[in-house]
Structure 1
Amino acid sequence: MQAARDRQKSYADLKHEPMKFQVGDKVMLKVSPWKRVVRFGKRWKLNPRYVGPFKVLGVIRNVAYKIDLPKELNRVHNTFHVSNLKKCHSDEPLAVPLDGLEAKPKPISQDSRELQTRS
């Protein structure tokens, strides 16, 4: 059983190369971990999946990076795992703007009248 597991791991490792960024690279930040915290004023299906671009300020080990966040995101820690980052390949004008971006400390509750079922 262990031999089969090791063989499959070696096959998977051949196709997978972890992303690496250098200091000064531009990256896009994945928004989905903050679904209930960051609101863009749109319905969740129309929200952008990534925001940015942001500049990489430093490398913390090989899987975590410190990025330069704007003042609108001052409540969010600026160190992110590599799985939440994506290399920015677009030009600056094509990037998603941060208009209306805010970090709320608590989830927003709905009124009871909005939760009533249809009859």
Structure 2
Amino acid sequence: MECSRAISYRLDLPASISSIHDVFHVSMLKKYLRDEDQQRVLDASEVEIYYDLTNIETPVRILAREDKRLRNKVIPLVKVQWNRKRAKEASWEREEDMRQDYPHLFE
């Protein structure tokens, strides 16, 4: 990894993902964790990267439910754990959207 400017870094990427641009803005990089319990190394073969450089994450399970209260509205939310992410990296999503897209999670 080399610093190409004050806010961007050029990474040494493996040949298997050579189609990805190798310069990243610092906001896209995550802090290096020395604690082995928090480290997670992904095998490049287990991450599907499509031609347009996107990947599809699928939900694994619902961890919690919560109602977000606004002035005149209540929005039901669910905390979703995604594949290739740990439980503490789960995100809050609208329950209605998740029921529509992934009904098997609610069975």
With the shorter chain as reference, the TM-score category is 0.3 to 0.5
Structure with the bigger RCO (C-alpha within 8 Å, sep 6+) is 1
The structure carrying a bigger strand percent of its residues is: 2
TM-score, structure 1 length as denominator? 0.35
Structure showing greater Rg: 1
